[in-house]
Amino acid sequence: MTHATARAIRIAREDRTPQDDARSVAACIRKRLIDAGQRFNANDNIAAFIHPGELDALRDEVEERMQDVLDTLVIDTANDHNTVDTAHRVARMFVDEVFRGRYEHAPRVTSFPNVAGIDELIIVGPITVRSACSHHLCPIMGRIWLGVVPDADSDLIGLSKYARLCDWVMSRPQIQEEAVAMIADEFERRIRPVGLAILMEATHFCIHWRGVRDGEASMTSSAMRGTFRHDAGLRREFLHLAKGAAGRQVHAVGQES
């Protein structure tokens, strides 16, 4: 954004009326979601409610509001060469990068019938994932391991698709415990396995950077579905293999049956 554009946005903002805000693209999308009774929490995908071309307008609106935030923080973006384009950059980062999992449809995942009738434990990971906490929008950096036990009726998906789907769910403001459950739901629906295990280990910058400022703490959470819920041996095998992949100790949290 040029200085002239920044100035134009500022002038447009000063002229903004409550009626303009009600006509905003964000307000239109929000109304569609409410009318459909659809939840739109930070970690929900709302792609089905965004019409073609609206994402560009939405990005512009986020930029305007981000400029409001910078102005309210009393940062002289008109004269500070470092922040003159910050509202534009942050809007693009939120909509097109770090939170795109809210606005983009799910990645296409081709599945294959399990013709060989594989029924042994498959482990995928570690998959590197990045997200932000819903509470402070601080980064979360983590790794995910998946354990899948298919049967003859299950579908199998390509290795890279595991990473794509995890990235899609994690590219939203998240809470780690909910993210793990959401990822489990996505894979359960697509693979229809008899058992599914998800393990996520992540560091949260809202602990490192602010609050208690603990540089070491990490969080491990898991979701155990199907046979993993009642087969302690299978759970142990999964955690042992994930631990081997990690090269260090991994503790699963909860879901003991």
CB of 196 within 8 A of CB of 225? Answer: yes
Of 52 and 215, CB closest to Zn ion: 215
The per-residue DSSP string of 175-243 comes to: -HHHHHHHHHHHHHHHH--SEEEEEEEEEEHHHHTSTT--SS--EEEEEEEEHHHH-HHHHHHHHHHHH
- Chain centre distance of CA 162: 14
Q: How far is the CB of 217 from Zn ion (least distance, A)?
A: 12
Q: Which is nearer to Zn ion, 51 or 135 (CB)?
A: 135
Tell me how far apart the alpha carbons of residues 65 and 14 are, in angstroms, rounded to a whole number.
Answer: 12
Using CB under 5 A as the criterion, which residues of the chain lie in contact with Zn ion when the complex forms?
A: 133, 135-136, 206
Q: Which is nearer to Zn ion, 105 or 135 (CB)?
A: 135
Q: Are strands 173-174 and 122-133 parallel, antiparallel or unpaired?
A: parallel
Q: Which residue is nearest to Zn ion (CB)?
A: 206
CB of 172 to Zn ion, least distance (A): 14
Please identify, using beta-carbon distances, which residue of 175 and 234 lies nearer to Zn ion.
175
